[in-house]
């Protein structure tokens, strides 16, 4: 926790126009903030957090994606009871990982947050995985600095609203990264330096995760600014352990009945290494599928709370360790903070 003086110094050092915590927030106890679609909250207020889920996704591609492809009321009415249900089961914060060009709709998220009382967090950035199908043209035409300047502007309001992102979402496939994928990671590093937003990267495998850290380091950004999303895609635990030892967040976010055993295995390995304080766990569940009748097969968000945590407890994970995974770690991972190497 920073002292007030240090906090103010740090904020001033960020420079005009690049202030990473709204000045109005500076007077609050703790002076640390996580940015939700309703504005900043103290990291300690997040409580039980699902750190990687989706409310809506449109897989049509960057060229055809459009608000005209869905009925907002229908999406709202479909998602609302599913979100209310998981809140009733104990979830207080919901991190929506749908990026721009894949169906991010921050006004919808804001409405759902108001209606449910959930803290909802959205993102800026671009998703370069899936063969770059979701990258807009500007990524190819512009430099990393120009791309970053778009995201930095967006950090003070998305799509003409005052709704701010709480992290940067990017994505890459397996190593070696393509030129465009390297560029979005580089742009994310520049954006992090200006905003303190944590960088979440959908990642194909362990080598791709390593390559990202090299790019971040070349910009002076610490591995602790990076969340390795879909770490379960890498079967070799050594990669997870190495990355966590360097300070990176490791996100095992594909929890479901079929993957339960594999996820417990990954968590046990990190527990043995005393690295659980670098781990996030979520389901990558949901969502309203744009383009499918009534949103298609929308899976709920309950499994972790109803089944997976009881299974972890049976496997010897303590209450304290569960709190580390679902309360402490998300609060820390998403705190606005410039993390320099």
Query: Does 126 help bind Zn ion (rule: CB under 5 A)?
Result: no
Tokens standing for residue 68: 């005209």
Size of the site for Zn ion (CB under 5 A): 2
Q: Hey, how many other C-beta atoms are within 10 angstroms of the C-beta on 299?
A: 16
Instruction: Using DSSP bridges, classify how beta strands 39-41 and 198-202 pair: parallel, antiparallel or unpaired.
Output: unpaired
Binding mask 229-268 for Zn ion (x = CB under 5 A): ----------------------------------------
User: Toward Zn ion, which CB reaches closer, 19 or 333?
Assistant: 333
Q: State which residue, 190 or 197, has the beta carbon closest to Zn ion.
A: 197
Task: Provide long-range contacts, Cβ within 8 A and 24+ apart, for 245-250.
Answer: 245/273, 245/275, 246/213, 247/222, 247/223, 247/278, 247/339, 248/209, 248/213, 248/223, 248/224, 248/278, 249/198, 249/224, 249/278, 249/279, 249/280, 249/329, 249/333, 250/275, 250/278, 250/279, 250/280
Q: Which stretch binds Zn ion (CB under 5 A): 174-182, 272-280, 283-291, 327-335?
A: 283-291
Q: Which is nearer to Zn ion, 152 or 280 (CB)?
A: 280
Q: How far apart are CA 52 and CA 281, in angstroms?
A: 8
The 3-state DSSP class for residue 56 equals strand
Nearer residue to Zn ion within complex by CB, 97 or 244: 97
Q: Tell me the window of 4-12, 160-168, 279-287, 300-308 that interacts with Zn ion (CB under 5 A).
A: 279-287
For 61, counting Cβ atoms within 10 Å of its Cβ (0-12 exposed, 13-18 middle, 19+ buried), the class is middle
What is the DSSP track for 95-109?
EE-PPTTTT--HHHH
Nearer to Zn ion, 98 or 116 (CB): 98
Q: Cβ of residue 50: shortest distance to Zn ion, in angstroms?
A: 11
- Please list every residue from 83 through 112 that binds Zn ion, using CB under 5 A: 97
Measured from the CB atom, is 248 or 337 closer to Zn ion? 248
Q: Residues 42-81: x/- map of binding to Zn ion (CB under 5 A)? A: ----------------------------------------
Residue sitting closest to Zn ion (CB):
284
Q: How far is the CB of 286 from Zn ion (least distance, A)?
A: 8
Nearest residue to 126 (alpha-carbon basis) of 172, 60, 63: 172
Shorter beta-carbon distance to Zn ion: residue 97 or 193: 97
For the CB of residue 294, give the shortest distance to Zn ion in the complex, in Å.
Answer: 21
Residue 173: count other Cβ atoms within 10 Å of its Cβ: 18
Minimum distance between the CB of residue 103 and Zn ion, rounded to whole angstroms? 11
Closest CA to 45 of 32, 54, 58: 32
Please state, in angstroms and rounded to a whole number, the distance separating the CA atoms of residues 299 and 279. 24
Shortest CB 259 distance to Zn ion, Å: 14
SS3 call for 44: helix
The smaller minimum CB distance to Zn ion, of residues 57 and 243, is found at 57
Q: What span, in angstroms and rounded, lies between the C-alpha atoms of 142 and 54?
A: 29
Nearest-approach distance from CB 54 to Zn ion, in angstroms: 6
Q: How far is the CB of 285 from Zn ion (least distance, A)?
A: 9
Rounded Cα distance between 166 and 336, Å, is 8
96, 105, 173, 284: which one binds Zn ion (CB under 5 A): 284
Overall size of the chain counted in residues: 341
- Minimum Å distance from CB 133 to Zn ion? 15
We find the least distance from the C-beta atom of residue 316 to Zn ion, in angstroms, to be 29
The residue (of 97 and 109) whose beta carbon lies closer to Zn ion is 97
User: Which positions touch Zn ion (CB under 5 A)?
Assistant: 97, 284
């Amino acid at each position: 926790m920073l002292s007030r003086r240090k906090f103010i110094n740090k904020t001033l050092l960020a420079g005009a126009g690049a202030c990473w915590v709204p000045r109005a927030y500076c007077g609050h106890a703790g002076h640390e903030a996580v940015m939700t679609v309703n504005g900043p909250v103290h990291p300690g207020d997040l409580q039980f957090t699902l750190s990687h889920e989706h409310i809506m996704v449109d897989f049509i591609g960057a060229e055809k994606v459009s608000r005209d492809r869905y009925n907002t009321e229908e999406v709202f009415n479909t998602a609302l009871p599913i979100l209310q249900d998981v809140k009733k089961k104990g979830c207080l914060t919901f991190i929506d990982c749908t990026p721009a060009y894949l169906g991010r709709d921050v006004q919808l998220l804001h409405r759902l947050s108001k209606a449910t009382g959930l803290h909802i967090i959205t993102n800026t950035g671009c998703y370069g995985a899936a063969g770059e199908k979701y990258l807009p043209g500007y990524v190819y035409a512009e430099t990393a600095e120009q791309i970053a300047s778009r995201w930095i502007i967006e950090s003070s309001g998305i799509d003409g609203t005052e709704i701010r992102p709480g992290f940067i979402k990017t994505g890459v496939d397996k190593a070696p990264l393509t030129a465009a994928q390297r560029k979005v990671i580089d742009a994310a590093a520049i954006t992090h330096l200006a905003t303190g937003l944590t960088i979440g990267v959908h990642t194909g495998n362990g080598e791709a995760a390593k390559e990202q850290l090299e790019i971040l380091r070349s910009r002076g950004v610490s591995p602790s600014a990076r969340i390795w999303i879909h770490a379960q895609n890498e079967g070799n635990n050594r990669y997870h352990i190495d990355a966590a030892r360097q300070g990176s967040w490791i996100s095992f976010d594909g929890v479901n009945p079929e993957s339960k055993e594999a996820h417990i295995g990954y968590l046990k390995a990190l527990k043995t290494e005393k690295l659980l304080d670098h781990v996030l766990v979520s389901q990558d569940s949901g969502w309203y599928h744009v383009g499918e009748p009534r949103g298609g097969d929308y899976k709920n968000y309950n499994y972790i709370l109803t089944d997976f945590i009881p299974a972890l407890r049976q496997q010897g994970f303590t209450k304290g360790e569960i709190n580390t995974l679902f309360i402490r770690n998300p609060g820390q991972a998403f705190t606005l903070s410039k993390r320099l190497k």
